Structure 1
Amino acid sequence: MNRPKIAIVIVTFNRSGYLQDLLVSAAAMETDPHAIVVVDNASTDDTQDVLASAATSFPAGMLINHQLKTNTGGSGGFSEGTKVALELGADWVWLMDDDVEILPDALEQFAPWMERFKVIHGRRYDFDGTPFYWQAKFNEFLGVPLPYSGKQFNREGFAVTNSGTFEGMLIKADIVREIGLPDPRFFISWDDAAYAWLAAQHTKVVYVDAFVLKRKREQKQVNLGIRHLNDGSPLFRFHVIRNRAYVGKYFREYGKLNRFGFGLGTALTFAKEIFRLVVVQHTLKGFGDLVRGFRANRALWRDKTWRPMDPADVPAQLTNDR
């Protein structure tokens, strides 16, 4: 049986130092991927120089430098990168931010799970070497992913979820063709959770007890026991409230939207972001970002022209190797 073609999709913006470290780790992988697609979101630093230098560390044609003319956010970058990966004939797409490094045996760790599931999240180490906390499952009444127990893995070493993160989501091309490309309209925030939720309407989405990545960027955070709460930027605060409307519209497409419960979930999200400002960042200075996000949220709910991503826009499966 042929080895599946795994394309790594990295989205980067003005973080050439992190990108350089990530590409060094990619070059040290025990098994080569089919392709590494780096989507440069119109960076203004030396990202292009880093990519040119790194190209010599990979077989010819493996490292794809896909430079965008404008910054489309993480959402737009992952949408474009997934499209490019499938055009290159990838059977699987492994999505990741630029501020991680790949553990050398990552693909070997994924291999047995790829025989059983079609959307997989591996575990990550935090920047200090401790296991990074990410365990979440959408509460569909509230429309928000809630953390669950740290002892979430079953005896076989996996947990079924319906949420996800683009900091390490591995998705089979067949599922992308069923649900469409990641939605670039999110720009940032909720895009990965909503995309995994969409996938979960078609297949099992799992979190497996196998370490594949390490986070490199240190963030200001507060440990709440059941989860860590990181700091957030003004862009994040705006979009985390605005994009609730996009999540709700996808829920409605699948008949899962409870308007009362979802509204309550939005109120809880707003309250959580105020808590984040006060407890993590020790300020209320970003409150206006949340208010602007809420106004934009209301406008999106009134938009009657919105449609979900069209699976017909996903590149067809190639019959021959590139």
Structure 2
Amino acid sequence: MHVPDAGTPRVFIVITTFNRAAHLRKLLDSVAALDPAPSGVVVVDNASTDGTAEILAEADLPVPVLVHRPARNLGGAGGFAAGVARALDEGADWLWLMDDDVVVLPDALASFGPWMHRYSCIHGRRYDTEGRPFFWQHTLNEFLGVHLPVRGNVFAQSPVFHTNVGCFEGMLVAAPVVREIGLPDARFFLNGDDLTYGWLIAQRYPVAYIDAFVLRKTRAQRQVDLGIRHLNDSSDLSRFCGMRNRGYLARYLQLHGRHHRVGFGVGTVLTAVKELVRLVAVERSLSGASSLAGASSLWRGWRASRVILRDPDWTPEPPLSLPGPSGSLGTAS
């Protein structure tokens, strides 16, 4: 195994986990086989109550594994904010963010290598649990405030596709970008935090999706191709957060002069319709109780989003440092 020397960028893997000990074990085993190896791993254990603590205590990797255990579940957003902060404190040059239900492919960091001099925010491709390409090619429509799928082979003409959204299931981001943009907004808890963070980065730097497989999902998800987009299964908590977090997305769009009130309202209606379709088409929730619970989550989330939009004290996540000289980060055309 090639272990990075002092002249190699320090890549830290940041993992957020919650009650998925079996998946986490597989992920850590795959990290141990990475060649080249990362400089370290930060795991945020979001107050898990299963065997996660034991898995982490037994972890035997050729690189340091640093564990952060908050007193309560911070959600994916809060977990990544805490993990990124810890990795920066450890001197990370790059941060590779991922959930606990994936494994990394052995040559993943080598696949990123040729692009790290050109871009400062990179996503690689993923396989699903069956070994098929997992659909992830979207862009945020700012008028609607909705991420829309890009159909077809986005790599037909180029090995890189530029997008304006992010995904914490595999985002590789340079430390100076994080310091300039700020930490992921922990208030999202889950759903839409990574999309928004990628969009914030894209306002200043290109966000790349490269034609190289770096991850494989280990948690099976039901997924339906509706022709115009793919839908995965979800949960009522995710539905609530997704609708509520439109309030946070709207505030960030306002901050950058990209918020269109009417268009965003249409996007909110489309989001609610999408979630109702998900209930029926993906989760097969046809019973009255399940449908009512799903609809109630959307309604409560929408009402919470209105509170965020009217909050006179709302502020964005602050940068961690002033931006460096122009052109110091990836600015590929």
TM-score interval, smaller chain = over 0.9
**What RMSD, in angstroms, separates the aligned Cα atoms of the two structures?**
1.5
Given that residues 181 and 320 in structure 2 are in contact (C-alpha distance below 8 angstroms), is that contact kept between their aligned partners in structure 1?
Answer: no
Query: Separation in 2 of the partners of 1:144 and 1:305?
Result: 25
- The amino acid of 2:47's aligned partner reads A
SS at match of 2:34: coil
User: Equivalent residue for 2:124?
Assistant: 122
SS at match of 2:84: helix
Query: Separation in 2 of the partners of 1:200 and 1:194?
Result: 10
User: Equivalent residue for 1:12?
Assistant: 17
Query: Separation in 2 of the partners of 1:236 and 1:200?
Result: 25
Shift, 1:313, TM fit: 7.3
Query: Separation in 2 of the partners of 1:25 and 1:312?
Result: 32
| Percent identity between the two aligned chains | 52
State which of 164, 186, 189 in structure 2 corresponds to 1:162.
164
- The amino acid of 1:27's aligned partner reads A
- The amino acid of 1:158's aligned partner reads V
Query: Separation in 2 of the partners of 1:102 and 1:261?
Result: 39
TM norm structure 1: 0.94
State which of 294, 310, 319 in structure 1 corresponds to 2:318.
310
1:57 aligns with 2:61: yes
Query: Separation in 1 of the partners of 2:136 and 2:126?
Result: 8
Please list every run of at least 4 consecutive aligned residues from structure 1 whose deviation after the TM superposition is greater than 6 angstroms: none
Matched residue count: 312
Given that residues 135 and 150 in structure 1 are in contact (C-alpha distance below 8 angstroms), is that contact kept between their aligned partners in structure 2?
Answer: no
State which of 291, 297, 303 in structure 1 corresponds to 2:305.
297
Given that residues 95 and 170 in structure 1 are in contact (C-alpha distance below 8 angstroms), is that contact kept between their aligned partners in structure 2?
Answer: yes
User: Equivalent residue for 2:181?
Assistant: 179
Q: Show the 5 A alignment for 1:131-146.
A: 131-146=133-148
User: Equivalent residue for 2:330?
Assistant: none
User: Equivalent residue for 1:256?
Assistant: 258
Provide Cα deviations, 1:121-143, integer angstroms capped at 9, x if missing partner. 00000000000000000111111
State which of 280, 288, 299 in structure 1 corresponds to 2:296.
288
Given that residues 180 and 321 in structure 2 are in contact (C-alpha distance below 8 angstroms), is that contact kept between their aligned partners in structure 1?
Answer: no
CA change 1:313–1:290 in 2 (3 A) is: farther
Given that residues 133 and 227 in structure 1 are in contact (C-alpha distance below 8 angstroms), is that contact kept between their aligned partners in structure 2?
Answer: no
Query: Separation in 1 of the partners of 2:264 and 2:179?
Result: 28
1:247 aligns with 2:255: no
Query: Separation in 2 of the partners of 1:84 and 1:263?
Result: 38
- The amino acid of 2:130's aligned partner reads D
- The amino acid of 2:35's aligned partner reads E
Query: Separation in 2 of the partners of 1:313 and 1:69?
Result: 28
Moved more, 281-290 or 27-36: 281-290
Given that residues 148 and 226 in structure 1 are in contact (C-alpha distance below 8 angstroms), is that contact kept between their aligned partners in structure 2?
Answer: no
Given that residues 10 and 39 in structure 1 are in contact (C-alpha distance below 8 angstroms), is that contact kept between their aligned partners in structure 2?
Answer: yes
- The amino acid of 2:38's aligned partner reads P
TM norm structure 2: 0.91
User: Equivalent residue for 2:288?
Assistant: none
Query: Separation in 2 of the partners of 1:14 and 1:194?
Result: 25
Query: Separation in 1 of the partners of 2:91 and 2:267?
Result: 39
Query: Separation in 1 of the partners of 2:258 and 2:7?
Result: 39
Shift, 1:219, TM fit: 1.4
- The amino acid of 1:168's aligned partner reads G
Query: Separation in 2 of the partners of 1:203 and 1:230?
Result: 29
SS at match of 1:57: coil
User: Equivalent residue for 1:21?
Assistant: 26
- The amino acid of 1:125's aligned partner reads Y
Query: Separation in 1 of the partners of 2:151 and 2:302?
Result: 31
What are structure 1's unaligned runs of at least 5 residues? 317-322
Query: Separation in 1 of the partners of 2:174 and 2:39?
Result: 14
User: Equivalent residue for 2:327?
Assistant: none
SS at match of 2:273: helix
Query: Separation in 1 of the partners of 2:194 and 2:22?
Result: 24
Query: Separation in 2 of the partners of 1:265 and 1:40?
Result: 34
Given that residues 74 and 187 in structure 1 are in contact (C-alpha distance below 8 angstroms), is that contact kept between their aligned partners in structure 2?
Answer: yes
Given that residues 7 and 85 in structure 1 are in contact (C-alpha distance below 8 angstroms), is that contact kept between their aligned partners in structure 2?
Answer: yes
What are structure 2's unaligned runs of at least 5 residues? 1-5, 286-290, 325-333
